[in-house]
Amino acid sequence: MSTVTTAEPTIFERRESEARSYCRSFDTVFTKASGSTLTDKEGRDYIDFLSGCSSLNYGHNDPDMKAALIEHISNDGIAHGLDMYTETKQAFLETFERLVLKPRGMEHKVMMTGPTGTNAVEAALKLARKVTGRKNVISFTNGFHGMSLGALAATGNAGKRAGAGGVSLNDMTRMPYEGSLGDDVDTLAVIEAMLDNPSSGIDAPAAFLVELIQGEGGLNAASTEWVQGIARIAKKHGALLIVDDIQAGIGRSGTFFSFDEMGIEPDLIPLAKSLSGFGLPFAALLVRPDLDIWKPAEHNGTFRGNTHAFVTARVALEKFWADDAFKTEIAEKAKVLNAALQRIADKIPGAKLKGRGMMQGVDVGSGDLAEQICAECFDNGLVIETSGAHDEVVKVLAPLTTPMEQFQKGLTILENAAQKCAPMQIAAE
């Protein structure tokens, strides 16, 4: 059935490292993609409910971005310019200022980091420590912030941490995320009690590093009250607030930033994934201007400010964020999603809805069941993945631009898969 596994080892088996992962769940060779559709070598189409883990919020090969990128390349536009000034970067920054920062009254500056989320997080951690003269950072249970050593220290997953090979992942204190201690424990009170106690052994923090919806951690969505509480505690203890909006940002939560309607202004905001709009590697750190105390090149890197990504990111902003239409569209789709997931949850004893906006899923109670559902979906032409500490959440990360009909079709495949797998699970108990 698979086009990959044959008697003779494929080139991937021969020459690609065992670290590869998604290809194991989706064992076919893809050739092209458009909108929310992936096509494989056999000509089979798949609906994409993974979106490059939220890197393709506008779908594949958006025609406007595509046209602009082709034009740029055709005209010998710069592909790589280190961090030199280019017209392309200028246009991106002006558009980002006009459509994103100014409307929100944000004075933040944009730091182009290496084009990966982990690099933007590393930059944020460095800067927070440099600014405060403190080393300790508060991060949260189930958080995921990247795989390079600094960001990995803030990542909760035991398996991923094991990759460090025993090197100390230092200067990081873990606190409970909202809800992680059960419904009856006020995690804000726990955090505050620990930090207020001068003999708690927790060093004064340089920063709190938090995702408002935990993408890898099981789609835990923090309430506005909790987020405001964290902001307040951070301020009280002289710590910066870093909101990692790499996965939940750029529209995924329903608004451009995940914190847009929460009445807080983070000090540092790492962005990546859908920032380029086209799936191109691109990351940035938004920095409150008075904290921008970097010396030139103090955090540098070769691929800061991917110029091709400047082109597509600018088009994406102009196309989707010049007015509120897109936000309204996401909200409608999120409702549809919520209703579908509720129908699924109703079929599975103990299942719970997770997340918010277009970053929702259903906790089906076990990683095995979630995996079965996703495998069944793939067999029926839907690419979808799990999330959570035990991989127990079926996670829907459809492109925000998915046409409603296709979105419904994908949800139907998912519902059928849940229907099919759920009884098996029950029978097995």
Count of positions on this chain that bind a second copy (CB under 8 A): 156
Q: How far is CA 17 from the centre of its chain?
A: 24
Closest approach, Cβ 335 to a second copy, in A, equals: 27
Closest approach, Cβ 26 to a second copy, in A, equals: 5
Site for a second copy in 294-353 (CB under 8 A): 294-303, 306, 308
Tokens of 59: 């779908």
Alpha-carbon distances, residue 215 vs 143, 245, 331, 371 (angstroms): 8, 10, 19, 17
Closest CB to a second copy among residues 119, 340:
119
411 contacts 340 by C-beta, under 8 angstroms: yes
Site for a second copy in 46-85 (CB under 8 A): 50, 52-53, 55-56, 60-61, 66, 69-70, 73-85
Q: Is 185 in the site for a second copy (CB under 8 A)?
A: yes
Closest approach, Cβ 326 to a second copy, in A, equals: 20
In the set 64, 104, 176, 265, which binds a second copy (CB under 8 A)?
Answer: 176
Alpha-carbon distances, residue 189 vs 175, 176, 365 (angstroms): 11, 11, 28
Site for a second copy in 98-127 (CB under 8 A): 101, 109-112, 114-119, 122-123, 125-127
Closest by CA position to 156, among listed 223, 229, 279, 244: 244
Give the DSSP per-residue string, 246-296: TTTTTTTTSSSSTTTTTT---SEEEE-GGGSSSS----EEEE-GGG--PPT
State how far the Cα of 215 lies from the Cα of 51, in Å rounded to an integer.
13
Residue 144: DSSP 8-state: -
Q: Is 168 in the site for a second copy (CB under 8 A)?
A: yes
Q: Is 141 in the site for a second copy (CB under 8 A)?
A: yes
Closest CB to a second copy among residues 279, 340:
279
Closest CB to a second copy among residues 8, 168:
168
In the set 9, 103, 193, 342, which binds a second copy (CB under 8 A)?
Answer: 193
155 contacts 145 by C-beta, under 8 angstroms: yes
In the set 205, 217, 266, 355, which binds a second copy (CB under 8 A)?
Answer: 217
The contacts of residue 111 (CB under 8 Å, 6+ apart) are 123, 284, 285, 286, 287, 292, 294, 299
In the set 36, 57, 99, 153, which binds a second copy (CB under 8 A)?
Answer: 153
Q: Is 403 in the site for a second copy (CB under 8 A)?
A: no
Q: Is 235 in the site for a second copy (CB under 8 A)?
A: no
